[in-house]
Amino acid sequence: MTRSYLVKSGDSLTAIARRTHTTLARLARLNRLNPSRVLLIGTKLRLPAVAKAASVAVSATNATTVRASLDRWATHYGISSNLARALAWMESGYQNDVVSSVGAQGVMQLLPTTWSYVEDVLIGHKVQHTADGNVQVGVAYLHHLLNVFGGNQHLALAAWYQGERSVKRTGVLKVSKVFVADVLALKTRM
């Protein structure tokens, strides 16, 4: 048994798979889609029945607050606010209550280990576990990845998705290329 989902502006297969607690490959296979192709708004997707329902859509007030937080922290860390917005939208749709199947939490979908690394190593103090705190930690980590990869957004986003060490060791994985393309496409609309 399956459920259906209508693709909206800002959606990607990767983001839909994460929100519905399934894999990109499974979602693409179920819908006979090529994950490297553009996902058209209005496309009706079948979702696996075992997937949890997507979180309630973010309210306009919350989205405005999250965008303001993204812009403030992007300015603070000297990175593109459009890039930060696109990444946050891709990861959670600006929702702070979303938790992935691997335990990534909130707006920028940070793993607890990443959060601790950013607090302990990058910014040197604890950060409240709020939407604004999540954005601060996420943007600080993105800033770090951009520095590590000499400002190369493709490599920084790939490292965000597959891990910094993995990108350095093996290069950008095929699945990461799709994620990077999706985020950079969103960036042009933010």
User: Residue 28's closest CA among 52, 47, 53, 2?
Assistant: 47
User: Residue 18's closest CA among 188, 130, 175?
Assistant: 175
User: Residue 176's closest CA among 185, 168, 167?
Assistant: 167
Does residue 110 sit in helix, strand or coil? strand
- Out of 18, 35, 88, 91, the active site residue is 91
Task: Judge whether 91 counts as a catalytic residue.
Answer: yes
Residues noted as catalytic: 91
